[in-house]
Structure 1
Amino acid sequence: MYKRADAMVFQTPDAKKYFSGPRYKRITKTIIPNPVKPDLPEHVFEKDCHRFISACRLYEQKNIPMMIEAVRLLIEKGISCTLDIYGEGPLRSKLERMVQGYGLSKYIHLNHFTKEIHYEMTHGAAFVISSDYEGISNSMLEALCIGIPVIATDCPVGGARMYIKDGVNGYLVPCNNVCQLAEKMERVLVNREESEKIGMKAKELKNDLETNKIIQKWKSLVRYMIGAPDLAAPRG
């Protein structure tokens, strides 16, 4: 299909790099992210909150066992915490058995999908994403804009690193590194002052992802492609 395309739109710079060779030279390429909902609630900072939240499809790509293993390490270390995972998928039974096998049913809850996920995000210590690969996770963007600290794997194709600066407006960990994930989760619980600042900083992304601003990027691309004389090539 790309052979017939005049323009290609990507969500991340890493995805765009896949199409940087000579055969794609004639194609206009730009990066346009998804917008976030304008009416997202705001995170409620609670000093004594020890609840982690995740929302994802229950598929291999999401590497949910990494989160479960991280919680296991924290509990074994004597650190009080819980993990609420919201989502549907074919791995539910397997994950439930894993949780039960570790004796973590008291701490890890595999919840069904909820339309109230944004409300749930407002009452948590951090939002956790442990994907092996991901474009831009919409739930990650929403969590950042809500203001809950986000801990995400720095996975291909670079969606997390595009928006999260480690230790500034969120936390990044290497893929499949359970120990580092557990360390960042512990850091959120122990250093609550830092966590609050990181959540506040993350909310600044909301301004960049407003629906009208994203629509304007699409309009600019279309006008450029039809030859509007007042527009330069789209950036990104």
Structure 2
Amino acid sequence: METEKARMRIACVAYLHGAGGAERQIIMLANGLSSLGHEVHLVVLYANRACYPIDNRVIVHDLAGARQGQEGILGRFLALRECLRSIAPDVSVHYWMQSAYFAAAMPKRITGSVVYSERGDPGDSEYRGLLGFVRGATFPRLDGFVFQTEAARDYFDGSVAARSAVIPNPVAVPAALVSDVAPKRQKRIVAIGRLAKQKNHQLLIRAFARLSSEFPEYILEIYGEGDLRDCLCSLARSLGVADRVRIIDPCTDIFVRIKEASLFVLPSLYEGMPNALLEAMSLGLPCVTTDYAPKGAAGSIVSDKWDGVIVPDDEENLSQAIFEVLSDTDYAAFLSKNARESGKRFSSEQVFGQWESYLRKVVNT
């Protein structure tokens, strides 16, 4: 019984490239486990451009800035090995495949139990080459797996599933912004995500342009940064909606900015568990999402036409779904009310409690 209550020493290994979902989630996990009384170390292995607050109880090891000339894969491996040796964790948690296969190549006395959490689509094309071979060689050496959806877990065979848990992402919406009173909706459609192929914002701009004459007062706001900014702006110009499509840099007051929008849209091609969609639902926004890969994953978050709308990732279906929500205020209010209620499933308290229980199980196995 004492073992069950023991304080764990946990190492969360992070690649803090910027304002990405995985970056946010591993920081939130470190903060959440620390708040539960555990000794948590956040090991920053590559890049340290954290855009999210780190609890002062979390012990940060910035290896990205302290490798002193050790570059590349070997430098990262050696730096991580020495850091984990000094921490001597009970368990190390990895959201990135590289650090997971590094840990798999080290003795357990250095890494503790090793848990890998898949944050994207396990069937993505990036795993068809060398990375897929590395994953196949790494997984048998790991002690546990956390998947965000049943669809991602079911991609793998029984040996992986038997050592896994399905734990959703927690939402980061401040409680003060979660209200049962629907705001007066502004004529804005919003989307959040990196300006990258995966997020498929081109599809959203095309769908919006199809509706431009029917909803002339509406604007589309896309919050994100990335290499496709110029491409998206050019597309909006070519479709005649450049004056109504706004691409806005990520900001710290994003929830305040989107709370009163009329609609949130997630047009992604693939996702692990989209933080932006969870947050929009928690805020009570009517939401439309594509049926992104892995197929069926969107259905683990949204009950179609109850607390959101799921559509195939094509222009016609997306524009039709947007039309139906914007043209029927009662339907929009129905989706909003149910989305807010469904969002409660992803509270930080519930999610971090599930993580704590699973990590205890792995450590004690």
TM-score (norm 2): 0.58
Counterpart in 1 of 2:166?
Answer: 31
Q: Distance in 1 between matches of 2:199 and 2:248?
A: 16
Counterpart in 2 of 1:115?
Answer: 252
Whether 2:309 is the aligned partner of 1:171: answer yes
Q: Distance in 1 between matches of 2:270 and 2:289?
A: 11
Counterpart in 1 of 2:356?
Answer: 219
**How far 1:42 moved relative to its partner?**
3.6
Q: Mean Cα displacement is larger for which, 73-82 or 164-173?
A: 73-82
Contact 1:150 1:171 in 2 (8 A): yes
**How far 1:150 moved relative to its partner?**
0.9
Unpaired segments ≥5 residues, structure 2: 1-137
**How far 1:163 moved relative to its partner?**
1.0
Instruction: State the SS of the aligned residue for 2:288.
Output: strand
Contact 2:291 2:312 in 1 (8 A): yes
Change (3 A) 1:179 1:79: farther
Whether 2:199 is the aligned partner of 1:62: answer yes
Instruction: State the SS of the aligned residue for 2:195.
Output: coil
Contact 2:173 2:279 in 1 (8 A): no
Instruction: State the SS of the aligned residue for 1:156.
Output: coil
2:321 to 172, 184, 192: 184
Q: Distance in 2 between matches of 1:205 and 1:57?
A: 25
Instruction: State the SS of the aligned residue for 2:231.
Output: helix
Amino acid at match of 1:87: G
Unpaired segments ≥5 residues, structure 1: 229-236
Instruction: State the SS of the aligned residue for 1:142.
Output: helix
Counterpart in 1 of 2:184?
Answer: 46
Contact 1:74 1:80 in 2 (8 A): no
TM-score (norm 1): 0.88
2:345 to 208, 211, 215: 208
Whether 2:152 is the aligned partner of 1:15: answer yes
Whether 2:311 is the aligned partner of 1:162: answer no
Contact 1:149 1:202 in 2 (8 A): yes
Tell which structure's C-alpha radius of gyration is larger. 2
Contact 1:45 1:196 in 2 (8 A): no
Percent sequence identity over aligned pairs: 28
